[in-house]
Amino acid sequence: MDLCPVFGLDSRMTDVFGIACVHTLFNAISTLVLVWFRKPFADLLTRWIKEPDPEKGDFHLKFIGSGRLFGTPSISIEQAYKEAVNFAVTAQEGFQNVKLALNEKDPDKFEEYRQKLVKCEEVTDRFEYEIAAFLNSLTTESMNDHEAREVKVIYRVISELESLGDSCENISRLLTRLRVHKLDFDEETVSKLNLLIGKVNQAFAVMVSNMRLAADGKLKDISNAYKAEDVINETRDTLRDEGIFQIEKGADKFLAINYYLDMLAELEAMGDFMINISQSLFHEFDN
């Protein structure tokens, strides 16, 4: 059947019309194929671009590289999700130095852990910058609404992760000022702080787990994150009330107790950043 008269085209436009139809059909099929096979393509790229593992807590991009795009926004977003997980794992590795610094008596060893906490903040800054730059390089005109929302979620996630790095540095400053004033925490206080640090570390693990599930499109529930946050808040409240009671009782180490309370507040804030991440990922997936 000759369609040219139907569309008001003369015979000279037949070839042009045919080429346009083929081109449109090709683009539609290509888009459907890429969307359907997004995860396998992303996994294949990950295997191809395998690099040596860095030192724990060091900055190292595994999935996106600097300015490296992957053909379509869909695949690039998949890689950005994975890089955000790598970011979170690195931040958790840096957080381990909080407990090491708190419990260290040797000044030289303490300084080593303090520097690692400062480095943790620098590493999280760099991760946030590189992932944001990668997302900025994506062409918004070529994204659908779902992909645009995913990008916004990743921006929020990396911002919260960067705040975790800030908290690590803030804790290093608190511990440094404690030593500058020639003060220390007694064994009971250190034990209490270790307890809350352990709860925060558990929340870290929950957050990373939820991020992995979100990256695979499988995050269906974040009750684990709410439970981890509740545990942090309850532990902080109990320990804070005990510290305030010591101050009201006229404790000798008033300044040391204030540093202790500041430590509790900083650790609790980290729990807030973590629940924000799980909530952002879940709300996007839920939509």
Residue 235's pLDDT is 99
**Closest by CA position to 281, among listed 206, 199, 200:** 206
Indicate if the pLDDT at residue 199 is higher than 80. yes
DSSP per-residue string spanning 159-180: HHHHHHHHHHHHHHHHHHHHHH
Indicate if the pLDDT at residue 266 is higher than 80. yes
pLDDT band, residue 58 (cuts 50/70/90): confident
Indicate if the pLDDT at residue 206 is higher than 60. yes
Mean pLDDT of 109-133: 97
pLDDT digit string (tens) for 233-253?
999 999 999 999 998 887 678
Note the pTM of the prediction, 2 decimals.
Answer: 0.80
pLDDT band, residue 24 (cuts 50/70/90): low
Environment class of 8 (CB within 10 Å of its CB; exposed 0-12, middle 13-18, buried 19+)? exposed
Mean pLDDT of 40-48: 56
Q: Mean pLDDT score of the chain, rounded to an integer? A: 86
The two three-digit tokens of residue 286, written as one number: 């839920």
Residue 31's pLDDT is 54
Half-sphere exposure of 73 (CA within 13 A, CB side): 17
Residue 12's pLDDT is 53
Indicate if the pLDDT at residue 187 is higher than 60. yes
Indicate if the pLDDT at residue 183 is higher than 60. yes
The two three-digit tokens of residue 250, written as one number: 């006229």
Indicate if the pLDDT at residue 14 is higher than 60. no
Considering the domain delimited by 38-286, tell me its CATH architecture: Up-down Bundle (1.20)
Percentage of residues in the chain having pLDDT higher than 90: 67
Residue 236's pLDDT is 98
pLDDT band, residue 59 (cuts 50/70/90): confident
Mean pLDDT of 92-103: 98
Indicate if the pLDDT at residue 23 is higher than 80. no
pLDDT digit string (tens) for 139-176?
766 889 999 999 999 999 999 999 999 999 999 999 99
pLDDT band, residue 119 (cuts 50/70/90): very high
Environment class of 201 (CB within 10 Å of its CB; exposed 0-12, middle 13-18, buried 19+)? middle
Q: Where are the domains of the chain?
A: 1-36, 38-286
Mean pLDDT of 198-211: 99
Decide: helix, strand or coil at residue 203.
Answer: helix
Residue 65's pLDDT is 74
Distance CA 232, CA 228 (A): 6
Reported as type and span, the H/E element at residue 184 is none
